[in-house]
Amino acid sequence: MASSSSSGLTFKLHPLVIVNISEHYTRVKSQMNPHPLTSTVNGVENQQPAPRVYGCVIGVQRGRTVEIFNSFELLYDPSTHSLDRSFLEKKQELYKKVFPHFYILGWYSTGSDAQESDMHIHKALMDINESPLYVLLNPAINPAQKDLPVTIYESELHVIDGIPQLIFVRSSYTIETVEAERISVDHVAHLKPSDGGSAATQLAAHLTGIHSATKMLNSRIRVLHHYLVGMQKGDIPCENSLLRQVSSLLRRLPAIESEKFQDDFLMEYNDTLLITYLAMFTNCSSTMNELVDKFNTAYDRHSRRGGRTAFI
Measured from the CB atom, the residue of 277 and 295 that comes closer to another protein is 295
Confirm or reject binding of residue 309 to another protein (CB under 8 A): no
Q: Pick from 158, 222, 262, 280 the residue near another protein by CB under 8 A.
A: 222
Q: Pick from 35, 62, 301, 308 the residue near another protein by CB under 8 A.
A: 301
How many residues bind another protein (CB under 8 A)? The answer is: 46
Q: Cβ of residue 273: shortest distance to another protein, in angstroms? A: 17
Q: Pick from 32, 178, 188, 203 the residue near another protein by CB under 8 A.
A: 203
Per CB under 8 A, which region of 89-97, 149-157, 214-222, 274-282 contacts another protein? 214-222
Cβ partners under 8 Å of residue 303, min gap 6: 309
Confirm or reject binding of residue 280 to another protein (CB under 8 A): no
Q: Cβ of residue 253: shortest distance to another protein, in angstroms? A: 7
CA distance 207 to 54: 41
Q: Cβ of residue 246: shortest distance to another protein, in angstroms? A: 6
Dihedral pair phi/psi, residue 181, rounded to 5°? -65, -40
CA distance 20 to 46: 28
Residues 141 to 200: which contact another protein by CB under 8 A? 198, 200
Site string for another protein, 103-142 (x = CB under 8 A): ----------------------------------------
Cβ partners under 8 Å of residue 135, min gap 6: 13, 17, 21, 57, 68, 71, 106, 107, 108, 109, 150, 151, 152, 153
Binding residues for another protein, rule: CB under 8 A, are 198, 200-201, 203-204, 207-208, 210-211, 214-215, 217-218, 221-222, 224-225, 228-229, 231-232, 240-241, 243-248, 250-254, 257-258, 287, 290-291, 294-295, 297-299, 301-302
